[in-house]
Amino acid sequence: MDLDVDSVRTARTRADLALAPGERFLAGGTFLYSEPLPPGVTGLVDLLGLGWEPWTIDGGGLRVSATCTVEEVRAGLGALGARSGPYRGLGIAQPCADALLLSFKVAHTATVGGNLSLALPAGAMVSLFAALGASVLVWAPGGGARVESLTSFVTGPGETTLADGEVLREVRVPASALGARTAFRKIALTPLGRSSAVVTGLRAEETARLVLTASVPRPVPLEVAPGDHAALDRALDAVTEWFDDPHGAPDWRAAVTRGLAHEVLEELA
Amino acid sequence: MRIDGAAVDAAPRPGQCLRTFLREQGRTGVKKGCDAGDCGACTVLLDGDPVHSCIVPAHRAVGSEVVTVAGLGTPDDPHPAQQAFADAAGFQCGFCTAGMVCTAAALGLPAAEAPEPAELDRLFKGNLCRCTGYRSVRDALAGRRNVETAVAGESFGRPVAAPAALRVVTGREAYTLDEPEPPGMLHVAVLGSPHPHARITRIDVAAARAAPGVHLVLTYRDVPATPYSTGRHQDRNDDPDDTLMLDPVLRFRGQRVAVVVAETLRQARRALRLVDVEYEVLPAVLDPEAARAPGAPLVHGDKDPVLARIADPGRNVVAVVREEYPVPGAVDAALAVSAATVEGEWSTARVNHAALETHGARAWVADDGTLTVRTSSQVPFLVRDELARLLALDPAAVRVVVGRVGGGFGGKQELLVEDVVALAALRTGRAVQWELTREEQFTVVPCRHPMRVRVRAGAGADGVLTALAIDVLSDTGAYGNHAPGVLFHGVHESMAVYRVPAKRVDAEAVYTNNLPSGAFRGYGLGQVIFAIESALDELAARLGLDPVELRRRNVVRPGDPFVVGSLVQDDLDYGSYGLDQCLDLVDEALRRGAAESRDGAAEGGWARGATDGGGRAAPVGWSEGRGVALAMIATVPPRGHYSNARVSADADGGFTVDVGTAEFGNGTTTVHVQLAADALGVPPDRVRVRQSDTGTSGYDTGAYGSAGSVVAGKAVAQAAARLREHLDGGDGVRSAEGSHDGSPRSVAFNVQGFRVAVNRATGEVRVLQSVHAADAGVVINPEQLRGQIEGGVAQALGSALQEQVQLHDGEVMTRAFRHYRVPQLVDVPPTEVLFADTVDTTGPRGAKSMSEAPYNPVAPALANAITDATGVRPHAIPMQKDTLWRLLNGVGRSSA
Ligand SMILES: Cc1cc2nc3c(=O)[nH]c(=O)nc-3n(C[C@H](O)[C@H](O)[C@H](O)COP(=O)(O)OP(=O)(O)OC[C@H]3O[C@@H](n4cnc5c(N)ncnc54)[C@H](O)[C@@H]3O)c2cc1C
Ligand code: FES
Ligand code: FES
């Protein structure tokens, strides 16, 4: 929809990222243009002019720019993960992209950075990258940067540790995760609806690392020994806060999350 | 930027989205269903990629190549995707079609190699269609042809295409706001109440009036003090006069507080923030049961019951039915001696119509002084008459014009935006437009009445009913538009369809401080039928009787009187009767489906592309069951529904039909063309229809109560037949008129059957088979009728399984399609549609109406199937996974 702003400027360099009062970052715009802006926002700074490489992969791991689109995750990373081999961990890229309610047409412009910054419980890019043990690189205004694990970056529904003027620059996935086995399960109130519960997981050497999203207000990482379903039950028992919104009652979400988590653990045995 | 091949110099405004930019450049084929990325109606190709133009920042498209639906092809030279949607009859209102076509074109569909069904589900999850139920959309995407070209004089009974088909699929058909803007047009923005119940104690609009671009600010002090109802009927006394254009008392969140009219929408929105209001917050009542308890806050306590036509404002009761047949006490006496009895309580949620075109209107004063309003309405003449009354004008000085309407479902049988634009046009002397946002569609536009229905029923050991009683509580929200009508209709055919010696109806519609309820497809019947059909299923179980057999033994047969809570003595009759056939057809189809799934014969199943609706097997470990429910509906609303049509011979050898009813996807235009063409003995393409314009056609009550085919249709057929006589007689008369008064009325029947599988661990319901039998008399257009039925079943499946307007403290929480689950392509299983063979004595050439009715038996049939599968009975809809899971696992509060 039309946004009531006075200016849109396209950032070309890092210096352009210094926000004037009332300015806000614009990535794909698929969320920003879908609701009226809060009062006080008067300008947008378009990040897509920075021309960041969507993603790069090397011995050090995978780096995904904040401006990489969901479609590039699905097609690019998804294709790498489709084969068994050094990138099989990315096998959950495609189902995670598909777990978003947004259609393939919206996925052309929706970005990873926008998804992580929005930090919705149903943010499937969180489900994907948290399972891969990713961290995020955040640019501070006026120079400087910080790195933080994704699971601590998202602090609640719609809440992150991003301070005013901070930019999410990229997501970093360690090389070890790329070759690991991963698994994905989702349930929604309708077959392709907004996620009610998503469980993703990665099989490390000694442990299975599961991440709960969508059914909880912020991503919940769980680590249990492979095949130890009793331990998983205990870990789930300790989760007490279940998300409540029009996409499913909390008690149901708790129950189906448990079912999905056991399936993921089973798959990662 | 290049748009549809032409270079465009204009630059977008900062923050503008591509959708509005394209429309400002005249590309009005690009539609707005949501303006939020959810529905796909605005899909265009941006450098070849399909995008939702409402969430694409327009500044990014500068320098790009944009192709809209109109750029893909023309009516004379349509793109293959456009041709496919026309050939498949892949639309009804057509408002989703531009987006469907652009998406299909981008994917190269229809293609020789069709995508896997699951892939199609994924690719089209972002294209919502509210009308069709998607079967015909799937057909279009697969390149299946469903329409045929009719021979002169023989179009009746044939699958003739909608006359507007090629214009719709190429984006040429003008919907309400698609005509070029009148010069100098102003825009409306409205401040909504932040409280469910409050009184304005001070309102200061000086700053807003002084804001840039503002031409007019209206508060309750500036508008006529004439009370009216937003609900419109042939008899305006059907609805209570409880509404003011702007009222100092606010009775629901979002109710109009102030109206700003400015040169741009942005200026209007900005000025709204300058309106300074102080409220006295009043106690609110949000629960309908609490609303009628002593001491409850009164929503319309200030009204005179007689003047405002409110049954009991001192108890928040707007309408009452209290009747027992044949004598008081008959039901209790009968139940006391019945072999089996059931008693239970059922409830239905708030549902939004979700017509893809939002409400919107433009008004201006024409050169001859006529106040002209172009709007999205099912009832142009009723809107004209009430506008004239409100504004103290002669109806002849008001003209209401309705173009093609992008879906209605009852939601456009209201006066919701026309009053504001009309008054603003008169005050400013400028053209004025008000287009509702999708959010306003959810938060301030009336929804379906939520109801709580208690049923008591009894039967003898022989399965013959002894007593049937219902106690209905309907929540009409803050205003009583349609409250009496929905209540009276809801308890009417639902009760009358059963032959029972003792009957009782206790029903009340009450005010609360919730969002108002209004007319919705089925008009109350669906809610009550959900309860009665569930209760009777339970009764059959207690008697150990097959539920279909129980119904066979107890439904009315021709000659039986219609009894609700008293004997109905009016013009309702059995013009034809096919309920027995419908029951048999569904019963047989379900048996066939069950047998096939056991034999594994129907391996394919709909999930894998088969579209016959039959024979899918339940997944391992799921519980399987079947359920049936029936519904009866009068073919025309009671107490008069009028239509006056004119058919004229044109100089070019064609014919023009002038008729007042509106086309909103119900297909009446096709029917009118068929009726006129056959009467005149010409091919359908020689007949054009000019409709829903109070300036050009005779009076028509409007498109509600499924009257478009049977009432207006009869008027058209009569006019055409008279013209034919003149033409054959060679008397030089080139034009003739016809009319119909909507009486006598007949009854139509619908039976829905399901086989389902239920997963107890998740609460998921999967439809294995869906079959619907309808008695619509002689079928005028099989493809179109099938579409109406499929669409009705799909809409009903939405409200039965997944849709719900959620309120919290009177505030709507589900304010966008991403939170309000209108069924996507993947959500709707195919429904096998079967027709009873009957010939109606009242309708045109033996036909009966059929557009609301298919909705009504769906929810109870599904609930009955779930009960059969699991042994646990749902008592509330929607039967969402989470609620069903709770029920099946004994968790939390059961709704019984
Ligand atoms: C139909 C539809 C369905 C959707 N379904 C889902 C869903 O299922 N789950 C879900 O999570 N989301 C959903 N969304 C919301 C949203 O579109 C996605 O989350 C998307 O990934 C956001 O990315 P974007 O690039 O479009 O963000 P934008 O809209 O451009 O920005 C979103 C927010 O993030 C900020 N931001 C963006 N990039 C950065 C950055 N690099 N650094 C700092 N701040 C930044 C912006 O300032 C803004 O506040 C849906 C949207 C639509 C239209
Ligand atoms: S109008 Fe753009 S997606 Fe609905
Ligand atoms: S035809 Fe699809 S929304 Fe009406």
> Tens digit of pLDDT for each residue in A132-146?
999 999 999 989 999
Claim to verify: residue B11 and residue B83 sit in the same structural domain: yes
Render pLDDT for B684-708 as a digit per residue (tens, 0 to 9). Answer: 999 999 999 999 999 999 999 878 8
pLDDT band at B893 (very low <50, low <70, confident <90, very high): low
Structure tokens at B306: 């007689």
Rounded to an integer, the average pLDDT of B12-20 is 98
* Structure confidence at residue B625 (pLDDT): 97
Angle at B863 between CA B764 and CA B593, to 5 degrees: 80
Domain that holds residue B249: 186-282+356-407+412-443
3-state secondary structure B484-515: HHHHHHHCHHHHHCECCCEEEEEEEEEECCCC
For residue B216, the domain's CATH number is 3.90.1170.50
Average pLDDT of the segment spanning B788-814: 97
* Alpha carbons within 13 A on the beta-carbon side of B152: 5
Q: Are residues B716 and B765 in the same domain?
A: no
The confidence band for B67, taking pLDDT boundaries of 50, 70 and 90, is: very high
Q: What is the distance between the alpha carbons of residues B369 and B349, in angstroms, rounded to a whole number?
A: 46
Q: Per-residue pLDDT tens for B115-133?
A: 999 999 999 999 999 999 9
* Ligand 3 centroid to residue B130 C-alpha, Å: 5
CATH number at residue B96: 1.10.150.120
The CATH code belonging to domain A55-177 is: 3.30.465.10
**Rg of chain A over all Cα atoms, to the nearest angstrom:** 18
State how far the Cα of A145 lies from the Cα of A66, in Å rounded to an integer: 14
Is B15's CB within 8 Å of A5's CB? yes
The separation between CA B88 and the C-alpha centre of its own chain, rounded to angstroms, equals 22
Same domain, B610 and B653: no
**Would residue B179 count as lying in a domain?**
no
Question: E strands within B582-734?
Answer: 623-634, 643-649, 655-659, 687-691
Residue minimizing CA distance to atom 3 of ligand 3 = B129
Angle among Cα B24, B9, B37 to the nearest 5 degrees reads: 45
Last-in-domain residue among B514, B533, B552: B533
User: Do residues B707 and B756 share a domain?
Assistant: no
User: Tell me, what's the pLDDT at A123?
Assistant: 98
Mean pLDDT across A232-259: 98
Per-residue pLDDT at B614 exceeds 90: no
Residue B560, domain member (yes or no)? no
Which residue's CA lies nearest to atom 4 of ligand 3? B93
How many domains does the structure of chain B reveal?
5
B247 and B376 co-located in one domain: yes
Q: What mean pLDDT is predicted for residues A162-184?
A: 97
pLDDT reading at B227 higher than 70: yes
Q: At the topology level of CATH, where does A181-267 sit?
A: Enolase-like; domain 1 (3.30.390)
- Pairing relationship of beta strands A7-10 and B764-775 according to DSSP bridges: unpaired
Confidence of residue B602 (pLDDT cuts 50, 70, 90): very low
A210-241 b/e (C-beta count within 10 Å ≥ 16 → b): bbbbbbbbbbbbbebeeeeeeebeebbeebee
Q: What average pLDDT does chain B have? A: 96
| Among chain A residues, CA nearest to B124 | A103
Same domain, B420 and B274: yes
8 A C-beta contact, residue A154 and residue A216: no
Tens digits of per-residue pLDDT, B445-457? 999 999 999 999 9
CB atoms < 10 A from the CB of A122, how many? Answer: 27
Is there an atom of ligand 2 within 6 Å of B490 CB?
Answer: no
Please name which of B557, B601, B582 lies closest in space to residue B773, comparing C-alpha atoms.
B582
B48 in contact with A at a CB cutoff of 8 Å?
Answer: no
HSE (CB half, 13 Å, CA atoms) of B424? Answer: 32
Give the Cβ contact number of residue B42 at 10 Å. 29
Percentage of chain B beyond pLDDT 90 is 95
Nearest to B409 by CA among B177, B166, B95: B95
Nearest to B433 by CA among B856, B32, B164, B839: B32
Q: How far apart are CA A183 and CA A181, in angstroms?
A: 7
Pocket around ligand 1: residues whose beta carbon is below 6 Å from it?
Answer: A 24-32, 34, 47, 66, 70, 100-102, 106, 110-111, 113-115, 117-118, 120, 122-123, 162, 167-168, 194; B 37-38, 55, 818
> Residues B494, B575: one domain?
no
The ligand that comes nearest to the alpha carbon of residue B95 is 3
| Least distant ligand from the CA of B357 | 3
User: What are the domain boundaries of chain A?
Assistant: 7-50, 55-177, 181-267
In a domain, B552, yes or no: no
Chain B, residues 743-772, CB within 8 A of chain A, namely 761-763
Between CA B177 and CA B361 the distance in angstroms is 7
Which residues are registered as beta bridge partners of B588?
A: none
Q: Which residue has the tokens 């003209």?
A: B399
Q: pLDDT band for B606, please (50, 70, 90 cuts).
A: very low
Minimal Cβ distance to A105: which of B126, B437, B820 = B126
> Residue B560 and residue B575: Cα distance in Å, rounded?
13
Please indicate, yes or no, if residue B424 is contained in any of the structural domains: yes
pLDDT band at A83 (very low <50, low <70, confident <90, very high): confident
Residue B615's pLDDT band (boundaries 50, 70, 90)? low
Distance (Å) of CA B882 to CA A181, A212, A246, B761, B886: 31, 18, 11, 10, 6
Tokens 């009974």, residue located: B157
Q: Do residues B696 and B575 share a domain?
A: no
Contact call for residues A41 and A5 (beta carbons, < 8 A): yes
Q: What is the strand order of the sheet A43-46 is part of?
A: A7-10, A43-46, A23-26
Q: Does A103 touch chain B (CB under 8 A)?
A: yes
Type of residue at B887: L
Residue B896 pLDDT more than 50?
A: no
Rounded-to-integer distance, Cα B640 and Cα B234, Å = 7
Claim to verify: residue B457 and residue B334 sit in the same structural domain: yes
Picking from B533, B560, B594, the residue at the C-terminal end of a domain is B533
Rounded CA gap, B708 and B703, in Å? 5
| Residue B728: pLDDT band with limits 50, 70, 90 | very high
| Residues in chain B closer than 8 A to A8 (CB atoms) | 14-15, 57, 59
Q: Alpha carbon of A76 to those of A60, A93, B240, B336: distances in Å?
A: 18, 9, 61, 72
Instruction: Return the percentage of chain A with pLDDT > 90, whole number.
Output: 99
Q: What is the pLDDT of residue B150?
A: 85
pLDDT confidence of residue B616:
79
Residue B637 is classified by DSSP as -
The pLDDT of residue B603: 44
pLDDT tens-digit map of B826-883: 999 999 999 999 999 999 999 999 989 999 999 999 999 999 999 999 999 999 999 9
Average pLDDT over residues B602-611: 38
Q: Are residues B433 and B460 in the same domain?
A: no
Q: What is the reported pLDDT for B597? A: 85
Edge to edge, what strands does the sheet with B655-659 contain? B687-691, B655-659, B643-649, B735-740
Would residue B548 count as lying in a domain?
no
Pocket test for ligand 3, best of B129, B135, B137, B357 (most atoms within 8 A of CB): B129
d(CA B53, CA B10): 17
pLDDT over threshold 60, residue B611: no
| pLDDT tens digits, B499-509 | 999 999 999 99
What was the pLDDT predicted at B600?
62
What's the pLDDT score for residue A32?
98
Q: Write out pLDDT tens, residues B468-490.
A: 999 999 999 999 999 999 999 99
Q: Does some domain include residue B324?
A: yes
Closest Cα partner for B796 from B774, B835, B828? B828
Q: Is B668 in the pocket of ligand 3 (CB under 6 A)?
A: no
A189 touches chain B (CB under 8 A): yes
What pLDDT sits at residue B705? 81
| Closest residue to atom 3 of ligand 2, CA basis | B37
Judged by DSSP in three states, B577 sits in: coil
Q: How many CA atoms lie within 13 A of B769 on its CB side?
A: 30
B362, part of any domain: yes
Does B452 share its domain with B435?
no
B698: Cα separation from own chain's centroid: 25
- The span from the CA of A116 to the CA of B288, in Å, is 42
CATH number, domain of B455, equals: 3.30.365.10
The pLDDT of residue A22: 98
Assess whether pLDDT exceeds 50 at residue B519. yes
pLDDT beyond 80 at B104: yes
Task: Kindly state whether residues B631 and B682 are assigned to the same domain.
Answer: no
Nearest C-alpha neighbor of B257 from the set B187, B316, B205? B205
| Residue B342 located in a structural domain | yes
- Those residues whose C-beta lies under 8 Å from the C-beta of residue B219, and which sit 6 or more positions away, are B200, B203, B205, B246, B257, B258, B259
Asked if pLDDT for residue B894 goes beyond 70, the answer is no
On whether any CB of chain A is under 8 Å from the CB of B43, the answer is: yes
